[in-house]
Structure 1
Amino acid sequence: MKFAAVDIGSNAVRLQVTQIHYFQGQHTFKKLEYLRFPLRLGKDVFLNQQISEENQYKFKELMKAFYILIRLYGVNDYMACATSAMREARNGKSLVKEVREEIGLKITIIDGNKEAELINKSLGSHIDGKTYLHLDVGGGSTELNVFKKGEKVAAKSFQMGSVRTLNQELPQAVLQQMKRFIDRHLLGEKTVYGIGTGGNINKVFDLSAPQKRTNYLSIEKMREVLALLERHSNEEKLNLLQLNEDRADVIVPATKIYLAAFDAARIQRIKVPELGLKDGMLLQLFERNRNKQEQR
C-alpha cells in the first residue's frame, strides 16, 4: 500500500509519500518522496487575517504539483490537512473549496485538538509508563500534551507560534496560560520527561552537534544553541549556520517557546524523535486502510 500526507502549515507546506511493506508478520514504512516548500501563509494571516492573492496563486500551483505526484505514485489513499493559518484566514475555507473544485485535491482544515491528536499518534513508540510533557511548536500555534502511565491525560492548543511571534516578544498572557496548564497537570510530579517535535526543535538538535545514535537534547545545550543563534544576524544564519531562509528568522522565537514550557515543567533533558503531523497522518491512513482490508 502507498499513502500520501500533505501538511499545510503556517510556515511551509510538506508532502510525503510512503509505501507500507508487509514481511514476516511485520509492517514497515518506507519513505518514497518528501518535499517541503517554504510557503509562509501565516505571514499574511496573522497580520491581515487573510491569504494574499499572490500566496493564493502559489498555493494553488503547489497543490497542482503535489496532486500530480500523488497520482503518479499511485497512492491508495491520502490526507491533506491545513492548520493554524488556514483555519484563521477569512478566505481559508473558500480557498480550500477552490482547490477541490479546480484541482481535485481534498483538504481538511483541522483544529488544534485534531492537530495534537495526529501528532500524538506518531509518538506511540516513544511513550511508556513515565510522565511526559510533549511540545510541538508550529508557525501559528503550540500544542502541549501530558502523558501519564502511557495514556494522554491532558492536551491544550495555545495561540502562539514561531511565525505569529516573529519580530516581537512572546505574549506574556499566553505564556502564563501555558504555565498554569503545566502546573495544573504536572505540579507534584517527581520527574517529568520532555518530548519536542517540529522543524525548529529538529534544527536546534542538529546545531547542538549531538553524539551519534542519540535523540536526546539537554536544556542546557538548547540554551547554548539559542545564544549562538542570537549572536548571528539572519544573513549569518543563512551562510555560516547553513539555515534555510524560512528557518533563519523563526528558529529563535520557537526555541524560546520550547524553553519556556520545559522550564515551567522543570525538565532537564528532552527527546527529539523528528516526528510530526505528517507522520501521524500516515499512521491514520494505514490504520484506516488496514481495517478496510480486514473487513473484506
Structure 2
Amino acid sequence: MEKTNYAAIDIGSNAVRLLIKSVDMEEGTASFVKEQLLRVPLRLGEDTFSVGTISKEKGKRLLRLMKSYRQLMKIYGVKRYRACATSAVRDAANGPELIREISRKTGIKIEVIGGEEEARLIYDNHIEEMLDRRYDYLYVDVGGGSTEISLISGGVLQSSRSYDIGTVRLLEGRVKEESVASLRNDMRELGAGHPGLRIIGSGGNINKLYRLAAAGCKNGMELPVSELSVINGVLKSMSSEERVRVFRMRPDRADVITFAADIFLEIAGQCGASVILVPTIGLADGIIDSLYAEDTERAGRR
C-alpha cells in the first residue's frame, strides 16, 4: 500500500513545530514513520505574557515561517494537515487578526485550541496502549504558556484540566498566584483519590531532562522524581550560558528548562507520584494520530 503523509503544525508559546509523518499499512497495522521535524523558537509568549499582544516583528516572522512550512508540506506531498495554536496566540489580543492574515497569505488554516482540546489531542497518541492498567496516571504536558493535565484510569481518559502555568510565563514572571493555588489543590485531591498515581511527562523539556538523568534511570522510560530533583539542582547551579556549553542545549531551552522541572516536581509532590514516564511524544504526534483516525473512520463508513 502506498504511504500517506500527514503533517502537524504546533504553534506554541516557545517554539513553532512542523512534524511530517508517513503512515503505511502493514498486515492491517498502521506504521508511523517520522519524515521531518522542524522546530523554530519564535517565543511568541514572550510578547503575549508581557504586553498582551504579539509584536509586528514576531508576527512577520511567524508569517514567513508558515510560508516555509507550506512549501515543505508540498514537497513531501502531505495529504492532510492540521495547524493548532495554543496559549500565546489564544491569549494575545491581536491573535485572531494575525491568524486571518496568515490564512489569507499562505492558505494555511490555523485553529486556536483551548487547554482541554490540547490535552485531548496529546492523549490521541494512543498512550493508553503503553500503560499498565493496574495504575492510574496523570498525563502532564508542560508548555511555554500552559500546563495540560489529564487523568487516565483503567486505560481510559477520565478528565482534562488546563492551567495558565508555563515555562515562558514563569520566565516572564506572569504566572498568577491563583493559578498555582488551583494546581496545588487539584493535584492534592487527585493524589488522595488515586493512591499510587504515576505521571506521564510530555514536552521537549521533560524529554531533555530525562536524557540528562538517564544514568539514574534503570527502567526504560521511567524517570524517578528523585533523579529529576537532582538534575534540576545541578542545572539551577549553572547559568543559562553554562547549560548551553556543558549540556549542549539550545539557548531557548537553557533558560526555561528548570522552570519545567519545577512544574513537574510541584505536581509530583502534591499528588504523591514518585516516578515520571517519558515516552517522548507531544501535541504534534497527537494531531497526526487524530487525522489518521478520522480518515480511517471515514473509510470504514464507505
The question of a shared fold, defined as TM-score above 0.5 by the shorter chain, is answered with yes
Aligned to 2:140: 135
Aligned to 1:157: 162
Aligned to 1:252: 258
- Please give the alpha-carbon distance, in whole angstroms, between the structure 2 residues aligned to 1:170 and 1:49: 14
Q: In the alignment, residue 219 of structure 1 is paired with which amino acid?
A: V
Q: In the alignment, residue 169 of structure 2 is paired with which amino acid?
A: R
Task: Give the 3 Å change call, closer, same or farther, for CA 83–216 of structure 1 in structure 2.
Answer: same
Aligned to 2:5: 2
Matched, 1:104 2:107: yes
Aligned to 2:181: 176
1:223: how far off?
0.5
Aligned to 1:262: 268
Aligned to 2:299: 293
Task: Give the 3 Å change call, closer, same or farther, for CA 179–126 of structure 1 in structure 2.
Answer: farther
Q: After superposition, give the CA deviation of every residue in 1:206-246 in whole Å (9 maximum; x if it has no partner).
A: 11134587111001100111011111111101111111010
1:57: how far off?
0.7
CA-atom RMSD in angstroms: 1.6
Aligned to 2:35: 32
- Please give the alpha-carbon distance, in whole angstroms, between the structure 2 residues aligned to 1:88 and 1:127: 34
Q: After superposition, give the CA deviation of every residue in 1:17-38 in whole Å (9 maximum; x if it has no partner).
A: 1111111121100111111111
- Please give the alpha-carbon distance, in whole angstroms, between the structure 2 residues aligned to 1:36 and 1:125: 28
Matched, 1:116 2:111: no
Alignment TM-score, normalising by the size of structure 1: 0.96
Q: In the alignment, residue 252 of structure 2 is paired with which amino acid?
A: D
Identity rate, percent: 36
- 5+ unaligned residues in a row in structure 1: which ranges? none
Secondary structure class of the residue paired with 1:262: helix
Aligned to 1:67: 70
Q: After superposition, give the CA deviation of every residue in 1:138-192 in whole Å (9 maximum; x if it has no partner).
A: 0000111111112222221001100001054965432221121123333143311
Alignment TM-score, normalising by the size of structure 2: 0.94
Q: In the alignment, residue 180 of structure 2 is paired with which amino acid?
A: L
- 5+ unaligned residues in a row in structure 2: which ranges? none
Q: After superposition, give the CA deviation of every residue in 1:99-152 in whole Å (9 maximum; x if it has no partner).
A: 111111111010101000001111232334221122111000011111111222
1:66: how far off?
0.2
Q: In the alignment, residue 290 of structure 1 is paired with which amino acid?
A: T
- Please give the alpha-carbon distance, in whole angstroms, between the structure 2 residues aligned to 1:17 and 1:111: 23
Aligned residues: 296
Secondary structure class of the residue paired with 1:164: helix
